[in-house]
Amino acid sequence: MIAAKAFRLALLAAGTAGGLSGAAYGLLNEQSRYARRVIGPPANDPLRADGIHLPSGVGPVPRQELPADVEPLELAVLGDSAAAGLGVDFPAELPGVRLARGLAEELDRPVALITRAIIGTTSQELAAQVDAALIRPPELALIIIGANDVTSKLPVSACAELLGDAVRRLVDAGVAVVVGTCPDLGAIRPIPQPLRSVARHWSLALGRAQRRVVEASGGRAVPLADLLSPEFLARPGEFFSPDRFHPSAAGYEAATTILLPAMCAALGEWEGGPLPPAPTRSKAAEARRPTSRIVARLNRRLHLRADS
C-alpha cells in the first residue's frame, strides 16, 4: 500500500519546500510512477504468530499450558507493515516473534504477544490501534511507524504530534512504550535519484521529530534510520525482501537486535552492556544531506536542456 500511494504526495510537499520547477517536478513524478511499478503491491498479508512465547524459544503455546502461578508479560506491537513483519517467509522471522522470544529469554518469563499493526497505517490511524490495545493495557508496547507518513499530506510536525499523543495515552495507562522511528527511505534502491534523496530528506526529518515527541511523552525512541541505514545501504540484497522495499528476515533481525535492549530497559530489566548510542544524525544522512543542492542541479540541467 505504501508503494501504491508511492511518493507522489511526498513530492508535492518536498517540491514546495525545495523550490522544484515544473520540469523537475514532472521528472520526479515520473520517477515515482517507475518506483511504484518496480515495487508493486504486497503479494500477501503478513504472517501471524501471536500467543505465548516461552524462554526456551517455543511458541506460541496455549495459555493453559502455563503453570497456574505464572503470568506472562503482555507485549503489544502497533504500527505499520514494518511492525507487522511484511516480507518474511516464516513466523519465527517476524519481528514481534523475535522480540517476544528475546524478552522471554532475557526476563526468564513467558511473553504473550499480540500484534495490532496493520499494513498501510499512518500516524492518523494509530489512535485506533491504541484504543484496541487499551481495552486490556499491556505491560509493554512497541510502535514502528513513519514510512506511510512520508506519503501523507500531513506535515512532519503533525505526524509527530499524533505519535506523541499515542505514546502519552499508553504511558498514562501504565504501559512502557518503545518506538522505532521512521526508517531511511533513501536506502530503497528501486526509487531512482533524485527522488531517493527527496524521500531520504523527508523520512529523516520525520524520524528526528518523532524522537523528540516520543521522549517528551515518556517513551523510549530508537532511531532506526540512524542505527540501521548504513547496513541497509551496504547490503541491500541481504537486508531487503524480494520486493526490495520491505525488510527481509535479516533486515528484521538487525532491527530487533537494537530494539530488544531498549525494550528491556523500558521495563527496568536490562542487564546487558551499554545500549546502542542514538546519534543525532547518521553518517549516511550527513553524506546525503544537501537535498536542496541536488534539486538546484536538477533544475539547471533541465533548463540547459530546454535551451539547447
In terms of phi and psi (left: phi > 0; alpha: psi -120 to 50; beta: otherwise), the region of 286 is: alpha
- Is the bond leading into 60 cis (omega within 30 degrees of zero)? yes
Q: Tell me which residue of 122, 111, 11, 139 sits closest to 55, measured CA to CA.
A: 111
pLDDT per position as a tens digit, 100-131: 999 999 999 999 999 999 998 999 999 999 99
Task: Calculate what percentage of the chain has a pLDDT beyond 70.
Answer: 68
Range of the structural domain that residue 263 is part of: 2-307
177-192 residues labelled b (16+ CB within 10 A) or e (exposed): bbbbbbbbbbbbbbbe
108-138 b/e (C-beta count within 10 Å ≥ 16 → b): eebbbbbbbbbbbbbbeebeebbeebbeeeb
Mean local confidence (pLDDT), 83-100: 94
What confidence tier does 5 reach under pLDDT thresholds 50, 70, 90? very low
Q: Is the pLDDT of residue 291 over 80?
A: no
pLDDT of residue 23: 42
How many C-beta atoms lie closer than 10 Å to residue 8's C-beta?
Answer: 13
Read off the C-alpha cell for 225.
534510520
The distance of Cα 82 from the centroid of its chain, to the nearest Å, equals 5
CA distance 27 to 294: 13
Closest CA to 80 of 139, 174, 166: 166
Between 148 and 105, whose confidence is greater?
A: 105
Q: Tell me the three cell numbers of residue 189.
A: 534502491
Among 235-239, 256-260, 301-305, the minimum mean pLDDT is found in 301-305
Residues catalogued as catalytic: 81, 243, 246
Q: Please choose, from the candidates 256, 275, 258, the residue with its C-alpha nearest in 3D space to the C-alpha of residue 97.
A: 256
Model confidence at 12, in pLDDT bands (50, 70, 90)? very low
Give the pLDDT band of residue 179 (cuts 50, 70, 90).
very high
Q: Which residue has the higher pLDDT, 268 or 299?
A: 268
| Backbone φ/ψ region at 256: left (φ over 0), alpha (ψ -120 to 50), beta | alpha
pLDDT in tens, 236-252: 777 876 766 678 888 89
The pLDDT score that the predictor gives to residue 65 is 87
Instruction: For the beta carbon of residue 163, count every other beta carbon within 10 angstroms.
Output: 28
CATH number, domain with residue 149: 3.40.50.1110
Sequence-distant (≥ 6) Cβ neighbours of residue 119 within 8 angstroms: 1, 42, 45, 46, 80, 81, 84, 86
Question: Per-residue pLDDT for 275 more than 60?
Answer: no
Query: For position 17, what pLDDT does the model report?
Result: 42
Domain count for the chain? 1
Kindly report, residue by residue over 13-66, the tens digit of the pLDDT. Answer: 444 444 444 444 454 455 445 445 444 455 566 788 999 999 999 989 998 888
Residue 93 buriedness (CB in 10 A; 0-12 / 13-18 / 19+):
buried
Q: What band does 186 get if pLDDT is binned at 50, 70 and 90?
A: confident
**What tens digit of pLDDT does each residue of 127-145 get?**
999 999 999 999 999 999 9
Q: Is the pLDDT of residue 307 over 50?
A: no
Q: Is the pLDDT of residue 232 over 90?
A: no
pTM: 0.77
